[in-house]
Structure 1
Amino acid sequence: MAVRLGARLMAAIAATILLPVATVLMGTPAAADTRVDNPYIASERYVDPWWYASAVSEPGGAAVAIEPTGIWLDSVAHIEGTSSFPGLRAHLDEAVVQDSYGSAPLTIQIVLNDLPDRNCTHAVSNGDFSVTADGLNRYRTEYVDPIAEILADPAYQRLRIVAIVEPDFLPGLLLPAATSRCATVQASGAYPTALRYAITRLHAIPNVYVYLDASHHGVVGHPDNFGRAADLLASIAGATGGQPSPVHGFTVNVAGYGALVEPYFNTHMGLPVKNSRWVAGNDYVDELSFAQAFRQRLIAAGFGPGIGMVIDTSRSGWGGPYRPVRTSTSTDVNRFVDESRTDRRHSVGNWCNQAGAGLGARPTATPASGIDAYAWIKPPGVSDGTSMNVPGPDGLQPDPMCDPTYVQGTVPSGALPYAPAAGQWFGQQFQELLANAYPPL
């Protein structure tokens, strides 16, 4: 059932929750048609009514229910809305209502996630389009164009709209083709072509801020991929010599579980740590150090010095009773790393409903050098996918990486059991995220 907050209820929430937030805002609101350097500064944030209602329905959920989260447009149907979720225009209309209760502009985050053969590295790709079935043209006309037309409505011109473009596309281009879909994607050039169209179309709208996804430290932080990824992103965005491009910034760790900061170890401790089983040759062990370093490499690749990074911290907390409190003293490198790391996954590649994860740093503007924001782009408590062999809403199929009994090679999936289909509310996971939040609630 769709949950929509009317003006009176939103007024009550604004009066008791949203307006106090405005008292800590800094700076002077910009004119609606003027792009600012960082859309997260001097703004209020859109609270998704569906997320709010879902969170407050859980014990303890009221503590975080007012946090802003991303609005995922992961199918054509979600643009107009479904029986379960409001569409893009409904969210924007609600954002205008929320905006009316404050003096500062309101920032709303939307996520485009429907590339042809999206998530091609996964066993199951639940997108609407296929490269081999006119997917590139359909992506433009049935997906990007309708989104852009809605965003360009003058009714929304005061809003700051952060458009996060296609999370997790980079592995499908950087890594050896793991599936026949990836082989087709790489041979066709569909991803770069589709992305260029999307970022150019969205950038043409004056109050839209395009953030292109840059994956996460586990993939791009590896020295084999670091420079190639930056150059590829520059090629896609047409970035040369620091000249303006359609891309305002980049996102990392979207819908991921990577630790924001690993406080008890890093790769500077010496080659044995870098070559440990967990680190596996990567130059980075957390998202903040990776994002800051990758930003510099992106600037070297041709992006302007004003680009900023946004880190999804929605599920990167890894608190709770099993969080280490000091650096290990073990002389065995693998045991040293395992006892020191806060990220408790079996592999940095594990992505589905990870057991033991917690809410991460709360959404914050300019928390560190080069970082535009920590954001909860993935709404905590929303399932990544299911292993149950029953198609979910919108025909979503199960994925083995969401099966808690699945082992890929020798690595368990680490997924929680009994998860619903992707995009559905998963109360069990939300309760774990609350319990394991770091910083604690």
Structure 2
Amino acid sequence: MTSRGPRGGRAARRVAALSALLLAAGTALVSVPQSAAAAARLDNPYVGAKPYVNPDWSAKAAAEPGGSAVSNQPTFVWMDRIAAISGTTGARSLKSHLDTALTQGANLVQLVIYDLPGRDCAALASNGELGPDELPRYQSDYIDPIADILDDPAYANLRIVTLIEPDSLPNIVTNAGGTAGSTPQCATMKQNGNYEKGVGYALHKLGAIPNVYNYIDAAHHGWLGWDSNLVPAAQEFKKAATSSGATVNDVAGFIVNTANNSATVEPYLKVTDTVNGQTVRQSKWVDWNQYVDEQSYAQGLRSTLVAQGFDPGIGMLIDTARNGWGGAARPTGPSTATSVDAYVDGSRIDRRIHAGNWCNQSGAGLGERPTAAPAAGIDAYVWAKPPGESDGASQPEPNDEGKGFDRMCDPTYTGNGRNGNNLTGALPNSPLAGHWFSAQFRQLLANAYPAVSGGGGGGGDTQAPTVPAGLTVTGTTASSVSLSWTAATDNTAVTGYDVYRGATKVGTATGVSYTDSGLTASTAYTYQVRARDAAGNVSAASAAVTATTKAGGGTTPGACTAKWTANSWNTGFTADVTLTNTSTTAVKNWKASFTLPAGQTVTSVWNAVITPSSGAVTASGVDFNKDLAAGGSASFGFQGTHGGTYAKPASVTVNGASCTLS
């Protein structure tokens, strides 16, 4: 049960679906009557969910010192061998999990489908029971029985989320030949096509069940985030999703960071940062990757997947079970170093030796608690890899589970090309993959970020503040949003609040109100708030609220022009647009509206924000070009796809004024 990386739904989501509903302990859960839960296919199965808590994992967590603080968190159940369907020693059967979920009054169950032939071909620690050529057995003895159980009418009111075969397709992208990380086993799987066929079969069989939501594993930014990997990965996912009878309609979304430690959001490091004229992409840590954290990777990959033909309504999951990176080594702000490597190493909260290290990482902590719809395009933060379950043994251990010994789990191993020939950073004395690892759980609890009340961190207060409640929009203008909330409490005194717009921290407040300024007119923004105390503990995020700024923000131009230049090829095109205010009145926060001809879809944008991606769209200026002085101009552009024939829009308006289009 590992995820590593060498260097190299359905319809449009409603705004309401972006309201984050915390699933964490102590946070109010929103229960949906079971009959209502089964009434319709959901854009996001996590919104309004009461998730199943696995009693087997919960008991192990509660038995650890301080573990009861998180033992009621929902985690995924791993179906990692055929025997897991009927149950193994110390672990209940799939049917028992589903029956127990009903007893709990839960309406969401999370499963990992993980027994592909030749499973996890780039690692030994998580090898499985089926050989590379055992696709028929995978279908008849593994997927078919799971599908039969999930399709039982007794479970029709459960939302069943399935995580499809971690690591399999990413291994085909990077480890099947032509890269430093390629392996003979992965090459075999690419040649016989059984990874794609197996994933496609699972999607097809499970996707035919109305209350099942399939999410394909998509590795993490330190595996597929490079320019050379991202589009090929999306193409590989599309290939698998249209194999063995499956279609893209069988895919509810994708999950990133499964069983890995990459930070959800790097608060003090952005991929656009520069140091003395050098981009941080030149640093050894970033190594020319396009992303530095999982949320930006998930959102970027989502856009790429839609461009490859996946439904625009797909959502992303992020595994946050082990990527909190709290503790004394966590930076409290951006580095002031003047060399790019020192700046990145001093700013990143991900404290691993190398982003390619994946096995039982020393210093890791619990991350964000499971949360529904925390950011645009993100269906949920989840705990896919249950904290405390080992990634692999630190030394060879005979077993009947088909699991080998991978040196990446050995803390004395000096590494290979996939981790830059560095030490592995693995914890010592670890058991087989999936077995309980007490030392790992205790470390994760102590280093949790946000901190866990009673989590055994040592050295002072570990009581995180309560979650700020009642976050409310108290007013909007064309360029600002005002917020207020109810004060949070803890046992050392709350000293302030961090305000987030989407995934970005935009300010702090010492009281219980804040005004976010410099915004674009007629634009929706989503906010959350976290409380911070005198000991440095930070609460989980509040429920989200969405506010739309008012229209206008300046006068309508008396006259304007729109110069439209495009380049078209096959089924793609780029368009560059220059807006000029030819009147004598300045315009603030311009918004250009136009209708894209049928078949055209925007896939990427520069110097503006365009919503939605097709049909009648609006382009809004960004910070450096959002205002049009009298006689002034602003330019933006975008790339898109078309159905075979390109045409430019018939007209363009700016803040309601018709512009001369050329």
TM-score by length of structure 1 reads: 0.90
Distance in 2 between residues matched to 1:218 and 1:95, nearest whole Å: 35
Distance in 2 between residues matched to 1:250 and 1:127, nearest whole Å: 22
Residue 399 in 1 paired to residue 415 in 2?
A: no
Distance in 1 between residues matched to 2:341 and 2:362, nearest whole Å: 21
**Contact 1:360-1:438 at 8 Å conserved across structures:** yes
Aligned to 2:145: 146
SS in 2 for 1:109: strand
Aligned to 1:420: 431
Residue 59 in 1 paired to residue 90 in 2?
A: no
User: Deviation string for 1:238-260 (max 9, x for gaps)?
Assistant: 39xxx961001111101111100
Residue 328 in 1 paired to residue 307 in 2?
A: no
Counterpart of 1:165 in structure 2: which amino acid? Answer: I
Counterpart of 2:94 in structure 1: which amino acid? Answer: L
Residue 280 in 1 paired to residue 263 in 2?
A: no
Counterpart of 1:365 in structure 2: which amino acid? Answer: A
Q: How is 1:228-239 mapped onto 2 (pairs within 5 angstroms)?
A: 228-238=232-242
Q: How is 1:122-141 mapped onto 2 (pairs within 5 angstroms)?
A: 122-124=123-125, 126-131=127-132, 134-141=133-140
SS in 2 for 1:111: strand
Aligned to 1:214: 218
Q: How is 1:206-355 mapped onto 2 (pairs within 5 angstroms)?
A: 206-238=210-242, 245-270=249-274, 271-355=278-362
Counterpart of 2:338 in structure 1: which amino acid? Answer: T
Flag the structure with larger Rg: 2
User: Deviation string for 1:194-227 (max 9, x for gaps)?
Assistant: 1111101001111111111111111111111111
C-alpha change, 1:95 and 1:24, in structure 2 (3 Å) is closer
Distance in 2 between residues matched to 1:300 and 1:272, nearest whole Å: 28
Aligned to 1:94: 100
Q: How is 1:75-86 mapped onto 2 (pairs within 5 angstroms)?
A: 75-86=81-92
C-alpha change, 1:33 and 1:136, in structure 2 (3 Å) is farther
Distance in 2 between residues matched to 1:26 and 1:436, nearest whole Å: 34
Over the aligned positions, Cα root-mean-square deviation in angstroms equals 2.1
C-alpha change, 1:23 and 1:261, in structure 2 (3 Å) is closer
Distance in 1 between residues matched to 2:153 and 2:33, nearest whole Å: 25
Aligned to 2:183: 179
Percentage of pairs with the same residue? 50
User: Deviation string for 1:130-176 (max 9, x for gaps)?
Assistant: 12xx3111111111111111111111111110011011113311114
Q: Please state how far the C-alpha of 1:394 moved relative to its aligned partner.
A: 2.6
Distance in 2 between residues matched to 1:254 and 1:188, nearest whole Å: 25
**Contact 1:33-1:206 at 8 Å conserved across structures:** no
Q: Which has the higher helix share?
A: 1
**Contact 2:169-2:196 at 8 Å conserved across structures:** no
Distance in 1 between residues matched to 2:85 and 2:33, nearest whole Å: 33
Aligned to 1:30: 36
**Contact 2:390-2:430 at 8 Å conserved across structures:** yes
Distance in 2 between residues matched to 1:305 and 1:77, nearest whole Å: 37
Aligned to 2:117: 116
**Contact 1:238-1:245 at 8 Å conserved across structures:** no
Q: Please state how far the C-alpha of 1:309 moved relative to its aligned partner.
A: 0.4
Q: Please state how far the C-alpha of 1:87 moved relative to its aligned partner.
A: 1.6
SS in 2 for 1:373: strand
Aligned to 2:53: 47
Aligned to 1:358: 365
Aligned to 1:7: none
Residue 166 in 1 paired to residue 165 in 2?
A: yes
Residue 197 in 1 paired to residue 201 in 2?
A: yes
Greater Cα shift, 222-231 or 365-374: 222-231
C-alpha change, 1:84 and 1:209, in structure 2 (3 Å) is same
Whose RCO is larger (CA < 8 A, sep 6+)?
1
User: Deviation string for 1:392-425 (max 9, x for gaps)?
Assistant: 4635322211111111143111100011111111
C-alpha change, 1:18 and 1:303, in structure 2 (3 Å) is closer
Q: Please state how far the C-alpha of 1:30 moved relative to its aligned partner.
A: 2.9
Unmatched segments (≥5 aa) in structure 2: 1-22, 177-181, 453-662
C-alpha change, 1:255 and 1:268, in structure 2 (3 Å) is same
Counterpart of 2:41 in structure 1: which amino acid? Answer: R
Q: Please state how far the C-alpha of 1:28 moved relative to its aligned partner.
A: 9.9
Q: Please state how far the C-alpha of 1:330 moved relative to its aligned partner.
A: 1.2
Distance in 1 between residues matched to 2:256 and 2:54, nearest whole Å: 22
Counterpart of 1:434 in structure 2: which amino acid? Answer: L
C-alpha change, 1:89 and 1:135, in structure 2 (3 Å) is same
Counterpart of 2:171 in structure 1: which amino acid? Answer: G
TM-score by length of structure 2 reads: 0.60
Distance in 2 between residues matched to 1:245 and 1:314, nearest whole Å: 28
Distance in 1 between residues matched to 2:311 and 2:363, nearest whole Å: 39
Q: Please state how far the C-alpha of 1:278 moved relative to its aligned partner.
A: 0.6
Aligned to 1:4: none
Unmatched segments (≥5 aa) in structure 1: 1-16, 100-104
C-alpha change, 1:244 and 1:137, in structure 2 (3 Å) is closer
